[in-house]
Structure 1
Amino acid sequence: MRKVVVVDGTSMKARYGGCLLTASCQDGNFQIFPLAFAVVDSENDDSWEWFFRSLSTFVHDTTDLVFISDRHNSIYTGLRKVYTEAHHSACTVHLWRNVRHLYKPQLLAGLMSSAARAFVIEDFNKKFLEIQRVNPGCAAYLVDIGFTHWTRVHSQGKRYNIMDSNIAESWNQVLKEAREYPLICMLEYIRTTMMEWFAVRRARSARSASVIAPKCREIVEENFESAMSMAVRPISDFEFQVQIRSGECFTVKLVEGTCSCNEFQCLSIPCPHAIAAATRLGVSIDTFVDTAYFEETIRHSYEEKIYPIPSVGGHTTADAASGTRGDLNPPRSRRPPGRPKKIRILSRGEFKVCFISVKT
């Protein structure tokens, strides 16, 4: 897996409430790969710290690990205590919603999104200067957050294509109905969903005759079409100058896997300039794609099987041997009056946006 983990918390709608914490990432075919999930009383410092300590038993703390989440204070606190070497980045979608609420013009949100996704400093500076010109207050707000926290070009870790927490939001959407079930039923729903995903994806990958995953193949083919109109001139054996139609030139170093556009090294997928250079050299483009996108890697990702849990509906073997029942009593809680809300609860620092239509 590419070492980008998206964490999120969402409320449960069952009788006793609670919160479901999740950690997810993407496989090489840009599909959701759930890593861990846990039920806690609420999103607080103790809950997130315990969750991260449990997660750290198999997602180890390294300098090339990146966490992406909303700006919940307890997530920040837990990461500071457990993952001291990993980097933490903010979800750009949550920031985009805040910008749209605080600073009304829609133009700002688009400029902020473009600045966050820029691959080179020059493009980022150009977009951020436009933000300053349109609304200095919005620019000051983004500066206070820190460029390293929300932009790709200034990020201290490698975010690849994952600029937001949509992975976690999509996973929460899959579990939307299950979050109204009793606890054991909800957990069994999660298990059977993952069991089916693993089986289907394992079978699809086994049938594939391609070297790289389908979604990655689409990106490579799209970049290949753009590369056909570029002029390539050699600098050395494996270094090339690539000129596009506008006259702008880029330097591609195939051995290092870099391009001056910075897209090649950020996504670990050959950009159009790198593809043009590889075609000139007569080398297969697939060799420059990161192994995370290989079908073989995806097959290894799903080779483990998920089986039913024997203890569901009865006692575990350990309980029977020890003579204890091991029952879990529900927490002492008072269910709020009225029908449970269906609308997603906004994260801390996130604002509700209302649209008003005006007839002319």
Structure 2
Amino acid sequence: MHRIAAAAVLACALAAPAAAPAESFSATVAAGHPPVFRWVRMIDEVFEPKVQEALEGTEHSITFSNQFGGAIAGVGEELEAIEVGLAEIGTCQALFDPAKLAVQNVTYYTPFVSDDVRQVATLMHQLHQQEPAMTRAYEDNGVVYLGAPIGIDDYMLMTNFPVESLDDLEGRKIAAPGAAINWLSGTGAVGVSGNLTTYYNELKTGVYDGVIVFASAALPGKLFEVAPYITRFGLGAQFAGALCANEGWYEGLPQEVKDALHEGADAAMTWYHDELEAAVETAFQKMEEAGATITDASPEMRREWAAGMDNAAKEWAEGLDAQGRPGTEILSAYMEAMREAGAEPLRDWDRE
């Protein structure tokens, strides 16, 4: 955080009130993750070219300067960097910035709702467009939601032991990211906070016995080498973040440029999920070829896991309500939207 704080003074000094519409604009684009990640690749491979294409024939142009891999903001620091003007555009990572983008983490508090990543991302995008309570979190932090939701494919369990029933999880140390650690309540497993950067080594050295992870990351992370038992429980696809822009900079743009940014974000959203779905299919195939044992949990096991969980969603929502934030409102809106879209949640987290 110190890099942002130190540079914020310079950024503020250089900032100027929005001028009359100009022909040429520039934007620094920040991402804490390196460009090997699909949600970063979509920026320079799809978003930016589509914005340029949309501006063809207009009087306007825009030049992008990409600062990826923590060059000006680490993972979870992007929103603040955009807010203070170090970058005009970037990935606002809700999963890694739960304090500022709390309501955006609604999917991580509602497992067993849908394993369809495109469905989850599309519904979250629609909520951002239709629910003022959803975009209020961005407005409160001086940024604007552009789109290009970052969907995460269905989470599963990878272990160094076979899982034939939930009893097999008793006393086992299982790592999970962020709010997903709540999913382990009632299973008998010991939840450990973890992330992709440490999973392989921690599994290899026996710090924990398994991880909750998604296939598109498990393959490149070679987790099947140290946790070869893959059990697909349908824990659910997730929303992890999106592209956002500095509010002052955005509001100073001509409408044609604003429209181009959103058009670029729409194109990036489609490309990202096309790529992701293909990657998931390939991941399971290659992990199985490498010797992983892939099992689909029985409906009975899935229901048992879901039924035994604490309703962390209600606690989360009520906690936000107490802070004056629309937790219950967003929880209800998300669950209703998912049910209307055809999802069949194993538990109606909002109605209990």
TM bucket (normalised to shorter chain) is: under 0.3
Q: Which has the higher strand share?
A: 2
TM-score normalised by L of structure 1 = 0.25
TM-score normalised by L of structure 2 = 0.25
